[in-house]
Amino acid sequence: MKGCFITATDTEVGKTLASCALSLLVPDALVIKPVQTGCIREGERLAAPDVDMVVRCGGRAEALHCYAPPCSPHLALELAGEALTVAGLAAEVRARQAGEPASPVLVEGAGGICVPINEHESMLDLMQALDLPVLLVVGNRLGCLNQARLSLEALRLRGLAVCGMVLNRACPEDVCDPGCGEAAVSADEARILSDNVQSLTRLGERLGIPLLADVPWLGRLQAADGSVNAAVKHRLCAAFAPVAERLAQVWREQDREQDVVAEDLAFDRDHLWHPYTSATKPLPVYAVQRTHANRICLHDGRELIDGMSSWWCAVHGYGRESLVQALQTQAGRMSHVMFGGLTHRPAVALARELLPLVPGGLNRLFYADSGSVAVEVALKMAVQYQISLGRTKRRHFLTPMGGYHGDTQGAMSVCDPVNGMHTLFSGLLTRHYFTERPACRFDAPYDPACLEDARQKIASLRDEIAAVILEPVVQGAGGMWFYHPQYVQDMLTLCHEHDILLIADEIATGFGRTGKLFACEWAGITPDIMCLGKALTGGMMTGAVTLATDRVAEGIGNATPECGGGLLMHGPTFMANPLFCATALASVRELVASPWQERVQRIEALLNEGLAPCRNMPGVADVRVLGAIGVVETVQPVPIASLQAFFVEQGVWIRPFGRLVYLMPPLVSPDADIATLCAVVCRAVREGLIES
């Protein structure tokens, strides 16, 4: 959208003057005042003073919502018994602009930048939702440097682009304005006002946000009878000319934006490796500009409903305030410090809150920097535990087929050997043992025979096996397969009969996705070792943990020098990174405080209903849903690039792979969006797009 958001350091400092001047200087400009308070009743009509002023000056302006009380929008709305949301206001502004796409919109805020619109949202949220360049009007008076700095800081923290500042003197220099205090109206004041100009110029140069105009007191624009003082208007336009020039430059840059994106995409194609693709013949990628809630916004203006939670992570959607704030606050205090010999509150606080949530008995926590590394640590722990007991030959693992545990070497070696990388990397990867994929479906009666193969292998290989590693109940990237929790429970019993450890990889399943906080809860078990990652930080940061029982930790810790000496030889540079810990803590708190269980149940019902039509369609092998995961398994591998393009055209982000089209939306997704995701999947299947 072409335009600008006019905001200010405070109320009554000159936003409307800026709107008047720019509405005259920018050809075809339309000033939109989303919420106007302080309106004057004229018969049936509530006259919006700011809008009327622009119109009297000869510009075009509209107010979307008018209220009489001269107060903050949130209060005016409350008094009127009405409610407005930022999403609704942004949609109204967009719709208005869509009517005349060539006209730049100058959206004038209300009051200062943090003025509330409702209990939870402010003008800053509206600026973010509209994503327009921001013009900051600073009232030139005592105290304005502080206000300008605070305003710029708040805008920066929201990732907003400020195109410039205007310093405006809103009253004569020999009149004491509210910011001056008793000591003002003295010779000093002129000095203060001119220093404001110099200080803001220097600040602007440092930040790359130019001070575009220093507007002195020009006299009243509007006389008591409503007429406009032509001389003042003329001088006002002259003072704002550099602002109009700057806006024209910003819009020219915006017009070039699509070329810049095309250049980015070309560079990306030539130099960047994307996951699981060829460097020389890559699949197409889509350039993302920003994300919010459950939406992914592309540079070309399209907004996609997210169906993937960025590979299981973004349970709270994107840009969740508490998570963003936790990250920013921690960055302001301490972004990183080595964990060797040092500790810190975020590391301790996260563990303190996490340990009571995980299956009882997992009391020891190791911080890793990604899911794969957490798995490496788990594998090392298991082998070292066995060594500590003198069982030095137990260096192998048993794992069900169809599993996926990460892309590092140890993790790869326990991934499904057929779909995984065993053949390609034979000789590099340690050969481990595989048992049949758990055949018993989650929703079918349990058949103990499904564990028979594992039982036999464990009986014959027990002296070589340190641990069984599995993804409890849901095998993720290896096939999105949901199997019976009794299998997990019986596997634990079987392992313990032979002093073999059970490692539960809950990197994908953890934090509510399956309907339980952790999938192990379906089986009512505590594994010996457990890995968590992905949704741990709500998708804000990389980071993972490996948890172990006291038995495992003490086994390793109390080993004699010949049996490892008690040290766990692992220590990533970014272990317990404070930014990760603080964000994870905020995410865990947010999840626990939310009605996540009801949300998952609702999503489950919607997925069941929405994907059901696929069941009897040609090309579909199976449809299954568990918690907030919906899967359509196809007979043939799907054509990823063309199917992906179809999904984007339909306004959804779904990334299929192999023979799987699946959904795992953020838990905060609105019902209608889940329904749309399902409908688009059904349409793709119905229209035969899943066949290559």
Indicate which residues carry an active-site annotation.
276, 404, 505, 534
Using CB under 6 A as the binding rule, the residues of this chain from 257 to 316 that contact ligand PMP are: none
Q: Is residue 549 within a helix (H) or strand (E), and if so which, with residue range? A: strand 544-549
Q: Which of 156, 151, 177 is nearest to 166 (CA)?
A: 151
Binding residue for ligand PMP (CB under 6 A) from 128, 294, 372, 514?
Answer: 372
Contact 311, 534 (CB under 8 A): yes
Q: Point out which span in 62-70, 370-378, 434-442, 675-683 binds ligand PMP (CB under 6 A).
A: 370-378
- Nearer to ligand PMP by Cβ, of 218 and 308: the residue is 308
Contact 33, 64 (CB under 8 A): yes
**Count of CB atoms situated within 10 Å of the CB of 573:** 10
Q: Point out which span in 92-100, 337-345, 383-391, 469-477 binds ligand PMP (CB under 6 A).
A: 469-477
User: What three-state secondary structure class fits 32?
Assistant: strand
Using CB under 6 A as the binding rule, the residues of this chain from 480 to 509 that contact ligand PMP are: 505, 507-508
Binding residue for ligand PMP (CB under 6 A) from 16, 122, 370, 386?
Answer: 370
Q: How far is the CB of 151 from ligand PMP (least distance, A)?
A: 38
Contact 275, 301 (CB under 8 A): no
DSSP state of 595: T
Binding residue for ligand PMP (CB under 6 A) from 48, 93, 215, 375?
Answer: 375
Q: Point out which span in 20-28, 293-301, 471-479, 586-594 binds ligand PMP (CB under 6 A).
A: 471-479
User: What three-state secondary structure class fits 305?
Assistant: strand
- Nearer to ligand PMP by Cβ, of 267 and 276: the residue is 276
Q: Which of 469, 502, 472 is nearest to 487 (CA)?
A: 472
Q: How far is the CB of 244 from ligand PMP (least distance, A)?
A: 49
Q: Which of 470, 466, 458, 437 is nearest to 379 (CA)?
A: 466
**Which residues face 137 on adjacent strands?**
8, 166
Contact 180, 142 (CB under 8 A): yes
Per-residue binding letters, 422-441, with ligand PMP (x by CB under 6 A):
--------------------
- Nearer to ligand PMP by Cβ, of 370 and 399: the residue is 370
User: What three-state secondary structure class fits 671?
Assistant: helix
- Nearer to ligand PMP by Cβ, of 388 and 475: the residue is 475
Cα 396 from Cα 379, distance rounded (Å): 9
- Nearer to ligand PMP by Cβ, of 230 and 418: the residue is 418
Using CB under 6 A as the binding rule, the residues of this chain from 516 to 555 that contact ligand PMP are: 533
Which DSSP string corresponds to 480-515? -EEB-HHHHHHHHHHHHHTT-EEEEE-TTTTTTTTS
Scored b (16 or more CB within 10 A) or e, 529-552 reads: bbbbbbbbbbbbbbbbbbbbbeeb
Cα 159 from Cα 306, distance rounded (Å): 21
Rg (CA), the chain: 31
Cα 357 from Cα 529, distance rounded (Å): 15
Scored b (16 or more CB within 10 A) or e, 264-274 reads: ebeeeeeeeee
Binding residue for ligand PMP (CB under 6 A) from 121, 306, 376, 471?
Answer: 471
Question: Which amino acid is residue 175, in one-letter code?
Answer: V
229 burial via Cβ count (<10 Å: 0-12, 13-18, 19+): middle
Pairing of strands 652-653, 303-306: parallel
- Nearer to ligand PMP by Cβ, of 104 and 538: the residue is 538
- Nearer to ligand PMP by Cβ, of 5 and 312: the residue is 312
Q: How far is the CB of 407 from ligand PMP (least distance, A)?
A: 6
- Nearer to ligand PMP by Cβ, of 405 and 659: the residue is 405
Tokens of 578: 């404070």
Binding residue for ligand PMP (CB under 6 A) from 110, 211, 477, 547?
Answer: 477
Q: Point out which span in 9-17, 200-208, 365-373, 680-688 binds ligand PMP (CB under 6 A).
A: 365-373
518: CB partners within 8 A, 6+ apart? 357, 358, 359, 472, 506, 509, 510, 511, 530
Per-residue binding letters, 384-413, with ligand PMP (x by CB under 6 A):
--------------------xxx-------
The owner of tokens 């509206």 is 126
User: What three-state secondary structure class fits 84?
Assistant: coil
- Nearer to ligand PMP by Cβ, of 275 and 341: the residue is 275
Find the Cα–Cα–Cα–Cα dihedral 335, 340, 342, 343, rounded to 10°.
70
Largest pairwise CA distance in the chain: 99
Q: Point out which span in 175-183, 199-207, 284-292, 364-372 binds ligand PMP (CB under 6 A).
A: 364-372
- Nearer to ligand PMP by Cβ, of 74 and 380: the residue is 380
Q: How far is the CB of 533 from ligand PMP (least distance, A)?
A: 5
Cα 234 from Cα 238, distance rounded (Å): 6
Q: How far is the CB of 372 from ligand PMP (least distance, A)?
A: 3
- Nearer to ligand PMP by Cβ, of 166 and 415: the residue is 415
Contact 347, 578 (CB under 8 A): yes
Per-residue binding letters, 137-176, with ligand PMP (x by CB under 6 A):
----------------------------------------
Q: Point out which span in 108-116, 133-141, 371-379, 664-672 binds ligand PMP (CB under 6 A).
A: 371-379
Q: Which of 300, 276, 279 is nearest to 288 (CA)?
A: 300
Q: How far is the CB of 543 from ligand PMP (least distance, A)?
A: 9
Q: How far is the CB of 371 from ligand PMP (least distance, A)?
A: 2
314 torsion bin: left (phi>0), alpha (psi -120 to 50), beta (else): beta
Using the rule CB under 6 A, is 73 a contact of ligand PMP?
Answer: no
- Nearer to ligand PMP by Cβ, of 476 and 630: the residue is 476
Contact 126, 32 (CB under 8 A): no
Q: Which of 105, 138, 350, 73 is nearest to 251 (CA)?
A: 105
Q: How far is the CB of 272 from ligand PMP (least distance, A)?
A: 18
Q: How far is the CB of 531 from ligand PMP (least distance, A)?
A: 7
Q: How far is the CB of 403 from ligand PMP (least distance, A)?
A: 8
192: CB partners within 8 A, 6+ apart? 141, 142
Q: How far is the CB of 521 from ligand PMP (least distance, A)?
A: 17
- Nearer to ligand PMP by Cβ, of 471 and 633: the residue is 471
Q: Nearest residue to ligand PMP, using CB?
A: 371
Q: Point out which span in 140-148, 341-349, 369-377, 654-662 binds ligand PMP (CB under 6 A).
A: 369-377
Q: How far is the CB of 406 from ligand PMP (least distance, A)?
A: 3
Binding residue count for ligand PMP, defined by CB under 6 A? 14
Q: Point out which span in 381-389, 457-465, 470-478, 550-558 binds ligand PMP (CB under 6 A).
A: 470-478
Binding residue for ligand PMP (CB under 6 A) from 3, 476, 515, 610?
Answer: 476
Q: How far is the CB of 409 from ligand PMP (least distance, A)?
A: 12
Instruction: Give the residues lining the site for ligand PMP (CB under 6 A).
Output: 370-372, 375, 404-406, 471, 476-477, 505, 507-508, 533
